[in-house]
Structure 1
């Protein structure tokens, strides 16, 4: 039996829960979980906020661990390897997207949380393709949130060829936004942080932000003019998107990685005026997660983390719910 922490019904505290160890398929590996981050998506799963949860719900998808068993046809990993596992635990491996290395576009993905029991457990299983080998000099104790929050803000760098010549604005400086600052600054970009939180200025400047602006101060935002090549929004609340579009240069882009539930209210004229674009993306493919981890290892980039023991999981989730964690929470056994 495998020990875990599960929500037995929506919105309730997690309790100890044991489930049977399932046999591996020929292409799966079994991972002993060393640590697991807590993402806001885990809270959404626990609360059944998206209507897709089943209970008991064992969440957790920012997993760092060690392979302890492999299926008979596994070629990519060996027992004893230190690995990571993020949002996806498997793919069809035969569609055009999988064959092109864009596994995250596969329509038949398995989710580490919704398709099975996730990382708030002693062990987790996954298809070998979704399991990420970790660079040897990566600091494992803080690396878990890179597998979801990190790749979410790193993917646009690859998709849109962001480089040192671009002026970047990061809207919302929390678990995603603070990593975006670190990534884009490491590229050599000029980075402006837009935040509604007071008292973060010095901290954000120390992380690499060149400027810090209130995301609620319309006059201050408007004063920038059409300066930015790329604005990345990490927030889950509605803002004045036409205002932000007005400070984007011609051919620039407003890109959403935060799950805003309200419709995006944008004037067509805001787009037509400078041939501006609006886009969005979730996590990323295994090949890009590997690129991100190499980048993080090279530039010594990690999330700001608060550590908790699994036995204190409800305390940690409460802090995440109340936005009192700066900036990511990580559980360990």
Structure 2
């Protein structure tokens, strides 16, 4: 059916240029949510998958796992969400929801989890689907261009701040001021920490 057709950009083989690609996503499953893509960032992991650097890519490969959009369809089992709601989707799109990690709040460790861009159609498309548990509500007034990287690089550096119980009284070192490092610096500054950043690129010094 036309309503289940997704228009995307895909790499048909490793390292190839992205080309327009259409596919039928089939009927929305009860646990899934369909999101109309408003904005999707580009992460180095997208390039790694498109180029099959990790040797686990499945082609055609549709990248994009820093996705912000609005909900266009809800499966019958989806909870706590509504049509038209602005949401985000990050690295993970599916998990089993019945293994020990899933039921204990550690679904990211699920052995059956599915990445948004490996064997799954990512956000370089007009629509994307994911399990409702992996749909992240987003504030309506948040600028998607600046907030979008929080769905990958942002959570990658934010999670350690929580795990190591970083507080405003701490002095924290950030090694490398790249995609992750500069986000760590911004988060730590907002946290109120004293920061020492290390870089081998003198162009990044003040």
Question: Which one of 16, 37, 43 corresponds to residue 39 of structure 1?
Answer: 43
In structure 2, the partner of 1:115 is: 119
In structure 1, the partner of 2:150 is: 146
Given that 2:174 and 2:197 are in contact with CA atoms closer than 8 Å, whether structure 1 keeps it comes out as yes
In structure 2, the partner of 1:70 is: 74
> TM-score, normalised on structure 2?
0.94
Question: Which one of 156, 171, 176 corresponds to residue 172 of structure 1?
Answer: 176
> TM-score, normalised on structure 1?
0.59
Instruction: Write out aligned runs for 1:117-136 (5 A).
Output: 117-136=121-140
Instruction: Write out aligned runs for 1:275-294 (5 A).
Output: none
How far, CA to CA, are the matches of 2:72 and 2:87 in structure 1?
Answer: 11
Question: Which one of 102, 112, 137 corresponds to residue 98 of structure 1?
Answer: 102
Given that 1:76 and 1:129 are in contact with CA atoms closer than 8 Å, whether structure 2 keeps it comes out as no
In structure 2, the partner of 1:137 is: 141
In structure 2, the partner of 1:26 is: 30
How far, CA to CA, are the matches of 1:195 and 1:12 in structure 2?
Answer: 33
How far, CA to CA, are the matches of 2:42 and 2:98 in structure 1?
Answer: 31
How far, CA to CA, are the matches of 1:68 and 1:74 in structure 2?
Answer: 13
Give every structure 1 segment of 4 or more consecutive aligned residues whose post-TM-superposition deviation is greater than 4 Å: none
Answer with 1 or 2: which has the greater Rg.
1
Given that 2:177 and 2:197 are in contact with CA atoms closer than 8 Å, whether structure 1 keeps it comes out as yes
Query: For each residue in 1:164-198, what CA deviation from the matched residue of structure 2 results, as whole angstroms up to 9, or x when unmatched?
Result: 12211111111111000011121111111111222
* Residue ranges of structure 1 left out of the alignment (5+ in a row): 203-333
Shift of residue 146 of structure 1?
0.6
Question: Which one of 150, 156, 161 corresponds to residue 157 of structure 1?
Answer: 161
2:201 is aligned with 1:200: no
* Residue ranges of structure 2 left out of the alignment (5+ in a row): none
The alignment covers a number of residue pairs equal to 202
In structure 1, the partner of 2:189 is: 185
Considering Cα pairs closer than 8 Å and 6+ residues apart, tell me whether 1 or 2 has the greater RCO: 2
Given that 2:65 and 2:117 are in contact with CA atoms closer than 8 Å, whether structure 1 keeps it comes out as yes
How far, CA to CA, are the matches of 1:115 and 1:160 in structure 2?
Answer: 33
Q: CA RMSD in A?
A: 1.2
How far, CA to CA, are the matches of 2:20 and 2:197 in structure 1?
Answer: 40
Given that 2:172 and 2:193 are in contact with CA atoms closer than 8 Å, whether structure 1 keeps it comes out as yes
Given that 2:41 and 2:148 are in contact with CA atoms closer than 8 Å, whether structure 1 keeps it comes out as yes
Shift of residue 130 of structure 1?
0.3
